[in-house]
Amino acid sequence: MGDTVLYECVDHVATITYHRPEALNAINAELRQDLNAAWERFRGDEDAWVGIVTGAGRAFCVGADLKDGRGSVGEWPGTFWEIPTINSFESGLEIWKPTIAAVPGYCLGYGLTAVLRCDFVVAADDAEFGFPEVGLGVPTIVGAMRLPGRIGWSNAMELLLTGERVDATTAKDMGLVWKVVARATLMDEAHALARRLVAAAPLAQRATKEMAARGAHLPWEDALRLGESMRRVVGASEDAAEGMRAAREGRTPEWRGR
C-alpha cells in the first residue's frame, strides 16, 4: 500500500481511509491500486473483524479523477477502467466480515459503488450521493447492477439515469443510508456500531452474512443444504464451544476468531 490509502486496526476494527483530500479523494491509478491492497489486507487480517471505510477531508470520494490525464476508458489498464472482475471490493471481492461506510461530504460514482458494498452506511448530514456518469457520456455498470436491489427500481433509475445528486436525508428515505448523523460525530457513530458488531462471534457473523448473500440466489433446498454445511463447520470452531460455555456459566464470551 502507498500513501493514498490509510489502514489502521484497533480492537478488531480496521479503518480504511481514502487519503487524497486535496483531490476530494478522487480515484487515480495509485489510489485504485492502494484500495485493492487495503481490502486484500483487511480480508486476510485475522485481527480485523469489522471494517470501516471513510474519506479524509471534505469528501468520501468523488469518483474517478478526470484531471490526472488518464481519465478516459482504456487508459488505465488493470487499475480503474478495467474489464469488470471481482479483484476489487467495489466489484465484488468476497469479504464476509461486516463493513461500515462512514460518509462525509461528496460520495459519487465509484465512491458510491464502494458504499453500496457495505452492510451499513452512516452518513454525515452534509453528505451527497450520486452517479454522475451519464452526464459524462459513459454508463454506470456495477452501480447499475447493485443499486436497484438496494433502493428499488424507480429510486435507482432516478439516480442512475439523471446523474443528479441527493442529500443524506433523501438517501436515507430511499434506503441507501442507514443513519444520518452530525458531521462532527460521524466517526464516533461508526465506531460505536463497530463495537456492537465485535461483541458477537466473528466466524458466526461471517457465515451468516455469506448465507444471506448466497442464499438469496439459490433454490430453497440448495440454500438449506449450504446453510447446514456452514452451520456445522462454524459449530465445530473454538468460538462455538466458548459461546456455549459462556452461556452455561452466565458470563460474556471471549471470542478468538477461530
**Mean pLDDT, to the nearest integer, of 140-163?**
96
95 — alpha (psi -120 to 50), left (phi > 0) or beta? beta
pTM of the model: 0.92
pLDDT at residue 75 is higher than 80: no
Work out the average pLDDT over 188-216: 97
Least confident range from 17-31, 39-53, 58-72, 144-158: namely 58-72
Does position 71 have pLDDT exceeding 80, yes or no? Answer: no
> How high is the pLDDT of residue 103?
98
CA 56 to each of CA 6, 11, 127, 178, 185: distance values in angstroms, whole numbers, following the listed order = 9, 21, 13, 21, 14
Domains and CATH numbers, the chain: 5-198 (3.90.226.10), 202-249 (1.10.12.10)
According to the model, what pLDDT value does residue 236 have?
A: 97
At 69 the pLDDT is: 52
Q: How confident is the model at residue 172 (pLDDT cuts 50, 70, 90)?
A: very high
Predicted local distance difference test score (pLDDT) of residue 73 = 41
Q: What is the mean pLDDT of residues 59-78?
A: 67
Per residue in 6-46, pLDDT tens?
999 999 999 999 999 999 999 998 999 999 999 999 999 99
User: What is the residue-averaged pLDDT of the chain?
Assistant: 92
Label each residue of the chain as H, E or C. Answer: CCCCEEEEEECCEEEEEECCHHHCCCECHHHHHHHHHHHHHHHHCCCCCEEEEEECCCCCECCECCCCCCCCCCCCCCCCCCCCCCCCCCCCCCCCCCEEEEECCEEECHHHHHHCCCCEEEEECCCEEECCHHHHCCCCCHHHHHHHHHHCHHHHHHHHHHCCEEEHHHHHHHCCCCEEECHHHHHHHHHHHHHHHHCCCHHHHHHHHHHHHHHCCCCHHHHHHHHHHHHHHHHCCHHHHHHHHHHHHCCCCCCCCC
Confidence of residue 67 (pLDDT cuts 50, 70, 90): confident
Q: Is the predicted pLDDT of residue 96 greater than 80, yes or no?
A: yes
pLDDT at 194: 98
Could you give the CA distance from residue 177 to residue 131 in angstroms, rounded to a whole number? Answer: 15
- pLDDT tens digits, residue range 175-199? 999 999 999 999 999 999 999 999 9
**Section 220-229 average pLDDT:** 96
